[in-house]
């Protein structure tokens, strides 16, 4: 199968001295559920932000469906970003706005700030809230929701873009284990519908449960690439260090 996303020798330096990403290459096929593993500071978040150009790479290539992403500017970059949904660790929601109002903001890439949402937008927002099990909360303010519920609002907002790819940047890092598993289940359901997911995690147990492929980063380099079941105790310690223990 031809890759949907191709990254070659990607480098990112914030200070011109240290490389947060140091020659990272990867291929992702449509429908993959890719898990990024690695310690904090290994380059996971930087990689995700380079993919959607929230961060400008220093060197290397990024191709999405044969399009050279690094050459995109203006309208073409905005159109590309519409196809890439982003789910953040800290949710990035408007806390005093209603749940459905936050979900509708996922359509802002398709219209001007002063344009009204269409009846189809409202219908899709309610459908996406239903997908993440929050239909009865649509008029509630986000600040009244639990962390897990807020993350599900973030997923529903990302779905409003009709994305081809969802990037989830440690979406369960601030959640308790049961809630984290629940959020990952919703990402798994979305992936089962054919949407590619790249999700950074700290927990190998969740990676084994939901991922189809794994890329592990260490100090900005690819430390492992393959199926999650191939990560034995030796590879685990190579990724996380000799003193690390799986939780």
130: containing domain: 96-160
Q: Same domain, yes or no, for 103 and 59? A: no
Q: Same domain, yes or no, for 110 and 122? A: yes
Q: How far apart are CA 196 and CA 223, in angstroms?
A: 22
The one-digit pLDDT tens for each residue of the chain (247 residues) are 789 999 999 999 999 999 999 999 999 999 999 999 998 899 999 999 999 999 999 999 999 999 999 999 999 999 999 999 999 988 889 999 999 999 999 998 887 666 788 999 999 999 999 999 999 999 999 999 999 999 999 999 999 999 999 999 999 988 998 899 999 999 999 999 999 999 999 888 898 899 999 999 999 999 999 998 888 777 877 787 755 555 5
3-state secondary structure of 239: helix
Q: What is the pLDDT of residues 113-141, one digit of tens each?
A: 667 889 999 999 999 999 999 999 999 99
Confirm whether 88 is domain-assigned.
Answer: no
Q: Same domain, yes or no, for 79 and 179? A: yes
Confirm whether 35 is domain-assigned.
Answer: yes
Q: Same domain, yes or no, for 76 and 167? A: yes
Q: Same domain, yes or no, for 230 and 180? A: yes
Count: domains in the chain: 2
Q: In the listed set 132, 160, 188, which residue is the last one of a domain according to the structure?
A: 160
Q: Same domain, yes or no, for 74 and 115? A: no
Confirm whether 122 is domain-assigned.
Answer: yes
Q: Same domain, yes or no, for 65 and 172? A: yes
Beta-strand ranges (E) seen in the chain are 5-13, 19-28, 33-37, 59-64, 67-68, 84-87, 165-169, 196-200, 213-218, 221-226
Q: Same domain, yes or no, for 65 and 168? A: yes
Site of tokens 């899709």: 124
Confirm whether 89 is domain-assigned.
Answer: no
Confirm whether 90 is domain-assigned.
Answer: no
């Amino acid at each position: 199968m031809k890759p949907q996303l191709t990254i070659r020798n990607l480098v990112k330096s914030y200070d011109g001295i240290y490389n947060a990403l140091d020659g990272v290459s990867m291929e992702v096929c449509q429908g993959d559920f890719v898990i990024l593993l690695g310690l904090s500071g290994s380059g996971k978040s930087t990689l995700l932000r380079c993919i959607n150009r929230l961060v400008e790479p220093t060197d290397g290539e990024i191709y999405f469906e044969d399009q050279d992403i690094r050459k995109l500017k203006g309208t073409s970059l905005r159109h590309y970003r519409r196809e890439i949904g982003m789910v953040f660790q800290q949710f990035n929601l408007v806390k005093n706005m209603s749940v459905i109002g936050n979900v509708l903001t996922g359509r802002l890439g398709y219209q001007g700030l002063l344009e009204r949402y269409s009846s189809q937008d409202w219908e899709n927002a309610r459908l996406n809230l239903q997908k993440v099990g929050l239909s009865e909360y649509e008029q509630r303010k986000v600040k009244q929701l639990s962390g897990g519920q807020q993350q599900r609002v973030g997923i529903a907002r990302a779905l409003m873009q009709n994305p081809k790819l969802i990037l989830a940047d440690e979406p369960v890092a601030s959640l308790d284990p049961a809630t984290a598993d629940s959020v990952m289940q919703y990402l798994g359901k979305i992936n089962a519908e054919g949407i590619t997911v790249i999700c950074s995690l700290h927990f190998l147990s969740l990676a084994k449960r939901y991922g189809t492929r794994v890329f592990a980063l260490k100090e900005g380099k690819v430390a492992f690439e393959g199926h999650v079941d191939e990560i034995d105790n030796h590879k685990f310690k190579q990724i996380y260090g000799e003193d690390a223990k799986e939780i």
